A and B are shown apart, each in its own frame.
Chain A
Amino acid sequence: MRDRRLRRRSRAPGAPLLALVLFAAGCRALAPIPPGGSPGPLRLSDLAQQGDAQRRASLRLILEGLDAEAAGAEDRGVVLYERSLGLDATNPFAYLALARHYAAREDAARALQNLDQAEVLLAAEGGYDPRLEAHLLGLRGAALASAGQWEESRALLERARERAPIEWADGRLSPAELR
């Protein structure tokens, strides 16, 4: 009987999430204070004036999408990210925002696909701002957690937390934290 209950609990859909939250809570308690003057992780609003006209317009749509998600309109957010791709399909941040969206929904496959695309495009742009690394690591970790790959996820989230202790303290990235 006890065994059966345990098995049922481990199959519950919220189990990975719960584990993640507990892990994150532990991490938060032990979170080191970032060194003074550290610039912190990148926010997409920092990039609003970069790139050509298409990139800037595309980025504004992503920011609007993040705002929409933050206000609870998640589907609208996805629409705006996809629309931003219509303006600039090479914009890695649209895929990053999509990866965040799917990671938050525990859709590991889609989160990882979009993250791969974002990383390839960031690499093709001659590398990325090191301040973005926390999010790349953390989102991969979060996606892997929802795919049940605990060991790898734990390591990645740990590294994300080292780089962005506040944003990744709870093991997830909110739209506002990416914005």
Chain B
Amino acid sequence: MARLLLLGLGLPIFVTGVVAGFAAAIRVVQLDRTVVARFEGPRFVVPSRVYSAPAMLYPGLDWKLVELPTTLRRLGYREAARARDLAPGQYAWGPSHARIHLRAFEHPSRPEPARDVVLRLDGSVVRDIRAIPSGRELGAVALEPEQIGAYYGLDREQRELVSLGEVPRHLTEAVLAVEDQRFESHRGIDLRRIAGALLANLRAGSITQGGSTLTQQLVKNFFLTPERTLQRKLQEAVMAVLVEIRYDKDQILEAYLNEIYLGQRGSTAVHGVGEAARLYFGKKTRDLSLAESALLAAIIQSPNGISPHRAPERAIQRRNLVLGLMHSQGRIGAAELERARAEALQLAAVTPDPGDARYFLDLVRRQLAESYDAAVLAAEGLRIYSTLDRRVQLVAARALRDGLADLEQRFPALRKSGRSLQGCIVALRPQTGEILALVGGRDYRVSQYDRCSQARRPTGSVFKPFVYIAALEPASGSAAITLASVLDDSPLEIRTPSGIWRPENYDREFHGRVGVRDALEHSYNVATARLADQIGVARVVDVARRLGITSSLPRVPSLALGTADVSPLEMARAYAAIASGGILPEVQGVEDLVDVRGRTLERRQLQFKRVLEPGIAFLATSLLEGVARRGTAAGVHATGLEGPVAAKTGTSDEEHDLWFVGFTPDLVAVVWVGFDEPRSLSVPSSVGALPIWRRLVMELSGGRVRGRFAPPAGVTVAEVEPETGLLALDACPERRSEYFLAGTEPTATCPATGLASPFLDGDESPLVRRRFFEWLRGQR
């Protein structure tokens, strides 16, 4: 009976046991698969980072103008009190010398070694640069590219992967000392530690201590939620054992060091010692000192509570505790302990992401979208080296922000509409097409719409130079105009399919006969429309297309006055071709792309093609230089800006869009100001957009633009009489030098043949007659 009872009870227990064991085995297999899938697949989400072009240091550089100390701090360089024995990433500034220990720049094709250099200063100018200790004079040295942003996934984790070989031994020792001192000997769980923690918690009456090993912490971060339940704890323990069975200690330690959460930078979470070393000390992990390593190990417990930025004293206290543990566990000697304890906390400056480059980051993302989708960019840790010039970008962002604020202050009506006045600015290097700066709007947080690359707006008069270029180019053997020609700015009617079109000037007046320079300098609509009508809109469209305008260009007479919608980036490229002597560059935002293993995936090539003859490009430049000297853009020189500037204002119908395009020999920048939903600003471009451009160039150049616009071969200079455009003889009342394509100089002279008509339509001017008779009187 008893046996039967035993059998009756034992069988179900046995069966239950077998089923439970089987279920547990299945669960273990499932957990094992999860572990393997994670460890053997892409273990970490590593956002792709975008870097600026490297800043260069060279003799003759105005270090104050380029704000070198600020740049160094942004790059995470730390200022040392003494200029002796600097480590990479440190600098020291003296009255006549600056010493910088440049960090190495790791790149598959453009690596730079770490270099200790001294800059001899002469006031604000770098006199020379020498290597230490050799004393060898250096021509130019590059600072490493600056991170301008990253493409995060939804979790916004920031991480720089490191291999165990890159981690100094004292960092692993520090981590093990405080987090898991028996890591080398346990098999995933540490029973002694668990027992100790249990005892401590029982004594405290609450959970004050964890008994997790480093492997368990890794498992928890990798696979589990942070909830504290028995089931989760059990699962964690099983998985920790599985991890230990499958992988060796080095693999586990490396994964842990890359996974561990170590703080916050704004809205992004800092994971891994690589990223933390960069954030807190501006260093590579391998360059961390013992004290710095101990600090990183110290903050694992509570990265935000013991943050060295927020609570430096607590951080030092805990760092010293870690150092004490290292010593008591025999990981460091007494001398090392004392030296490390005495080390002052030297943190890299925290530079919050200014957010100014976010429109540029979006542009790069769109450009890369064909080959790399958002998921790849967010997870695969690509390094994207861009063409962006950090300084130009910062100055451009400031110029736009302050310029729009000033405009609203001067014209309060612009603020009252309830809609935000917007603007954008894009700057290119004309010869290479590299984007140096792009600010697509007033505030990225409010609107991510990039008005420089995504918006197309009527261009107003910034389109006019294309008309003049078309007229200056020889077609069928001869050009329609030279720079000395005289145009007709009298009332005009042009028949169009939609009726008669009667263009008007901005000042609602007609100016009669005007020189080509006057017509463009004062942006006369009627003279320009008549010129376009004479040469044909098709030729104007052809020029615009050659200059890289890809937007739709309706072949209507009003096209000459800028009624077509074009993006500021397109316009910048077109003017870049004029600025670079007729060579159209491909717009470039990315220099190269490197994968997480350091292999170059893509490398850009400079690309350009000749679209205008150099002589024509120069004549157009000279015209635009006149606009900036005497015309509607003369305001560029109003605050003392010196040097070669060529520019054009543009204001669309009803002052909905204010454009300003200007270039120097090595920079072209376009400014657009307006509302997203077109609405009159009631101010012209010279008031609304020009000052923003001027702020940019003034600050970049320090008020003095370098270089010059020089005539190429095939361009000659002749003295002409401005009113008539004829060759000026000595007796002419007025004369000025003018540029011509060789062979297009006027042949008739003033005053000897002063009555010969220089006009397009062969008419004679009363003014010419009057001058002729004045001259005759003067001869007597």
Contacts of A86 in B (CB 8 A): 53-54, 56
Q: Are A121's CB and B139's CB within 8 A?
A: no
Binding site for B on A (CB under 8 A): 52-54, 56-58, 60-61, 63-64, 75-76, 79, 82-83, 85-90, 98, 110, 113-114, 116-117, 120-121, 123-127
| Nearest B-chain residue to A116, judged by Cβ | B610
Evaluate whether A54 and B706 lie within 8 angstroms (CB atoms) in the complex, with A60-B139, A121-B431, A124-B614 already known.
yes
Contacts of A123 in B (CB 8 A): 581, 614, 710, 712-713
B444 close to chain A: CB less than 8 A: no
Within B1-60, the residues touching A (CB, 8 Å) are 53-54, 56, 58-60
B interface SS class: loop
Contacts of B430 in A (CB 8 A): 89
Contacts of A88 in B (CB 8 A): 666
Evaluate whether A90 and B431 lie within 8 angstroms (CB atoms) in the complex, with A75-B109, A113-B607, A116-B610 already known.
yes
Q: Are B140's CB and A57's CB within 8 A?
A: yes
Given A86-B53, A123-B581, 13 more pairs with CB closer than 8 A:
A53-B58, A57-B140, A60-B139, A82-B606, A85-B431, A89-B430, A89-B431, A89-B434, A117-B431, A117-B608, A120-B581, A126-B711, A127-B713
Shortest beta-carbon distance, B555 to chain A, in Å? 30
Interface pairs (9), CB distance under 8 Å: A53-B59, A61-B140, A79-B110, A82-B606, A87-B58, A89-B430, A89-B666, A113-B608, A125-B710
Give CA–CA (A3, B59) in the complex, Å. 63
B618 close to chain A: CB less than 8 A: yes
Q: Are B610's CB and A57's CB within 8 A?
A: no
- Encoded as 1 (CB less than 8 Å from any A CB) or 0, chain B from 55 to 85 comes to 0101111000000000000000000000000
Contacts of A114 in B (CB 8 A): 606
Q: Are A121's CB and B706's CB within 8 A?
A: no
Shortest beta-carbon distance, A100 to chain B, in Å? 15
Give CA–CA (A132, B435) in the complex, Å. 31
Contacts of B434 in A (CB 8 A): 89
| Nearest A-chain residue to B430, judged by Cβ | A89
Evaluate whether A52 and B610 lie within 8 angstroms (CB atoms) in the complex, with A57-B139, A79-B110, A123-B581 already known.
no
B371 close to chain A: CB less than 8 A: no
Shortest beta-carbon distance, A110 to chain B, in Å? 7
B429 close to chain A: CB less than 8 A: yes
Q: Are B58's CB and A117's CB within 8 A?
A: no
Shortest beta-carbon distance, B434 to chain A, in Å? 8
Q: Are B583's CB and A116's CB within 8 A?
A: yes
Shortest beta-carbon distance, B143 to chain A, in Å? 12
Binding site for A on B (CB under 8 A): 53-54, 56, 58-61, 109-110, 139-140, 142, 429-432, 434, 580-583, 605-610, 614, 617-618, 665-666, 706-707, 709-713
Report the tally of A-B residue pairs with Cβ distances under 8 A: 100
Q: Are B56's CB and A57's CB within 8 A?
A: yes
Q: Are B142's CB and A54's CB within 8 A?
A: no
Shortest beta-carbon distance, A55 to chain B, in Å? 9
| Nearest A-chain residue to B710, judged by Cβ | A126
A interface SS class: helix
Q: Are A54's CB and B581's CB within 8 A?
A: no
Contacts of B54 in A (CB 8 A): 83, 86
Q: Are B609's CB and A124's CB within 8 A?
A: no
| Nearest A-chain residue to B433, judged by Cβ | A89
| Nearest A-chain residue to B712, judged by Cβ | A123
Q: Are B583's CB and A117's CB within 8 A?
A: yes
Which of A58, A123, A124 has the most B CB atoms < 10 Å from its CB?
A: A124
Shortest beta-carbon distance, A161 to chain B, in Å? 23
Give CA–CA (A159, B431) in the complex, Å. 29
| Nearest A-chain residue to B62, judged by Cβ | A53
Shortest 5 CB-CB contacts between residues of A and residues of B: A53-B60, A60-B139, A123-B712, A57-B58, A120-B581
Q: Are B582's CB and A120's CB within 8 A?
A: yes
| Nearest A-chain residue to B137, judged by Cβ | A60
Q: Are A57's CB and B431's CB within 8 A?
A: no
| Nearest B-chain residue to A122, judged by Cβ | B712
Evaluate whether A124 and B142 lie within 8 angstroms (CB atoms) in the complex, with A90-B431, A113-B609 already known.
no
Shortest beta-carbon distance, A17 to chain B, in Å? 22
Query: Among A61, A89, A116, A124, which residue has its beta carbon within 8 angstroms of that of B429?
Result: A89
| Nearest A-chain residue to B604, judged by Cβ | A82
Shortest beta-carbon distance, A10 to chain B, in Å? 29
Contacts of B607 in A (CB 8 A): 113
Contacts of B710 in A (CB 8 A): 123-126
Contacts of B56 in A (CB 8 A): 57, 83, 86-87
Contacts of A121 in B (CB 8 A): 431, 580-581
Q: Are B666's CB and A90's CB within 8 A?
A: yes
Give CA–CA (A85, B605) in the complex, Å. 13
Shortest beta-carbon distance, B317 to chain A, in Å? 46
Give CA–CA (A114, B432) in the complex, Å. 10
Q: Are B713's CB and A56's CB within 8 A?
A: no
Contacts of B53 in A (CB 8 A): 86
Give CA–CA (A3, B663) in the complex, Å. 58
Give CA–CA (A52, B125) in the complex, Å. 13
Contacts of B110 in A (CB 8 A): 79, 83
Query: Among A56, A90, A117, which residue has its beta carbon within 8 angstroms of that of B665?
Result: A90
Shortest beta-carbon distance, B136 to chain A, in Å? 12
Contacts of B712 in A (CB 8 A): 120, 123-124
Evaluate whether A83 and B614 lie within 8 angstroms (CB atoms) in the complex, with A52-B60, A90-B707 already known.
no
Give CA–CA (A86, B583) in the complex, Å. 18
Q: Are B666's CB and A124's CB within 8 A?
A: no
| Nearest B-chain residue to A123, judged by Cβ | B712
Give CA–CA (A75, B592) in the complex, Å. 13
Q: Are A110's CB and B605's CB within 8 A?
A: yes
Give CA–CA (A83, B60) in the complex, Å. 17
Contacts of A76 in B (CB 8 A): 109
Q: Are A85's CB and B432's CB within 8 A?
A: yes
Contacts of B608 in A (CB 8 A): 113, 116-117
| Nearest B-chain residue to A127, judged by Cβ | B713
Contacts of B711 in A (CB 8 A): 126
Shortest beta-carbon distance, B53 to chain A, in Å? 6
Contacts of A98 in B (CB 8 A): 606
Shortest beta-carbon distance, A68 to chain B, in Å? 12
Evaluate whether A120 and B580 lie within 8 angstroms (CB atoms) in the complex, with A83-B142, A113-B609 already known.
yes
Contacts of B61 in A (CB 8 A): 53, 57
Q: Are B58's CB and A54's CB within 8 A?
A: yes
Give CA–CA (A58, B142) in the complex, Å. 12
Which of B606, B607, B706, B713 has the most A CB atoms < 10 Å from its CB?
A: B606
Shortest beta-carbon distance, A88 to chain B, in Å? 7
Shortest beta-carbon distance, A116 to chain B, in Å? 5
Q: Are B618's CB and A64's CB within 8 A?
A: no
